[in-house]
Amino acid sequence: MSDIAIRKQDPAQGRDVFGWKAIERRLFTPGVLILPLLIFLLFFFFIPAIRLMIFSVMTQNAQGVIGAPFTLDHYIRFFEVDLYRKVLWATIRISLITSVIAAILAYPVATVLVRGSIVTTRIITLVVIAPLAVSVVVRAYGWQLILGNGPTGLLNYVLINLGIIESPLALLFSDAAVVIGSIHIFFPMMVLPLSSALGKIDPNIQQAARTLGAPAWKVFVRITFPLSLPGLVAGFTLVFSLASASYVIPALIGGPGSQMLGNMVEQQVLAVYDWPFGATIATILIFIVILINAVSMKLLGGRRIKASAQ
């Protein structure tokens, strides 16, 4: 007698009459559930990224046709021209400064978010999350009004009327403006992972250290910071990746003097119509992000191995 017949004859013992539970277990395995996401990423991320990398080593003729022969001249040109090297280092510098300042500002906000009262937590969450509902373009134009270089700029107007400065500051269309705008836009990406990591720390450990006489700064350095490092690394990676690939903020409040790699890709593809060189710049940007993610995973992996050994 077959297994199906046996199951049909003995339903009282809790067996699945038609084997639907077994089918359900197979359909809802992690591998099957993640399959739609993998298919989506394959067609809309990996294939375009690979095609972009292939474009970066191809040649474009006078008629705009892209094809053979394959060459590395675009990469040599990028690293030989002083302008492109300056934009590369400016992108890395602005992204690093944005990530570091965001981390410094995120610690107290995340601490209040985790340890504060219910009302305080809801208010802080609303303040942190609400800007995400506003378009990046709208927020960039808002920073244009705030950081205006003339006396009509909101910040300059306030500082002049308070007697703090005598002449307007040149804030708009500078690296500082890009950093300020980037922090405002990507700050939630630092607060959320950090608050998640801080929420996993047992407050009794910190309280025990304070009871034994450790000052607040030493509790943070010896306990809070090491235990929150996974959230910090995750937030740092997110902010750096998003800031380095940013286009709107450098274009609207950075100006020509604060260009980043994302702006150069747009110029090469849409203005110059040099797809291979634009693909080269985009590929270099991808490798920078991959390198930062690899370093982050290495740090987290080494910390997990160290923690398990202890």
Check if the beta carbon of residue 235 is closer than 8 Å to that of residue 102: yes
pTM of the predicted structure, to 2 decimals: 0.79
Output the pLDDT for position 97.
Answer: 93
Domain at 34-309, CATH from 3.30.565.10, 1.10.3720.10, 2.40.50.320, 3.40.50.300:
1.10.3720.10
The 10s digit of each residue's pLDDT in 40-93 is 888 888 888 888 888 888 887 777 777 778 888 888 888 988 888 999 999 999
Domain boundaries, the chain: 34-309
Output the pLDDT for position 309.
Answer: 43
Round to whole Å and give the CA distance between 28 and 40.
Answer: 18
Output the pLDDT for position 179.
Answer: 92
The position carrying tokens 């510098």 is: 93
Round to whole Å and give the CA distance between 299 and 304.
Answer: 9
Round to whole Å and give the CA distance between 32 and 25.
Answer: 10
Confidence label for 6 from pLDDT (cuts 50, 70 and 90): very low
The 10s digit of each residue's pLDDT in 97-120 is 999 999 999 999 998 888 888 888
Which whole number is the average pLDDT over 291-305?
Answer: 71
Confidence label for 302 from pLDDT (cuts 50, 70 and 90): low
In three state form, how does the secondary structure of 90-120 look?
Answer: HHHHHHHHHHHHHHHHHHHHHHHHHHCCHHH
Which whole number is the average pLDDT over 283-308?
Answer: 73
Check if the beta carbon of residue 266 is closer than 8 Å to that of residue 285: no
* Per-residue pLDDT at 138 exceeds 80: yes
The 10s digit of each residue's pLDDT in 243-280 is 988 888 888 888 777 788 888 888 888 887 888 888 89
* Per-residue pLDDT at 155 exceeds 50: yes
Confidence label for 9 from pLDDT (cuts 50, 70 and 90): very low
> Where would I find the H helices in 147-174?
154-161
Burial of 104 (0-12, 13-18, 19+ CB in 10 A): exposed
Facing residues of 248 across strands?
Answer: none
Output the pLDDT for position 25.
Answer: 65
Higher pLDDT, 12 or 183: 183
Which whole number is the average pLDDT over 117-128?
Answer: 85
The 10s digit of each residue's pLDDT in 170-217 is 888 888 889 998 999 999 999 999 998 888 888 888 888 888 888 888
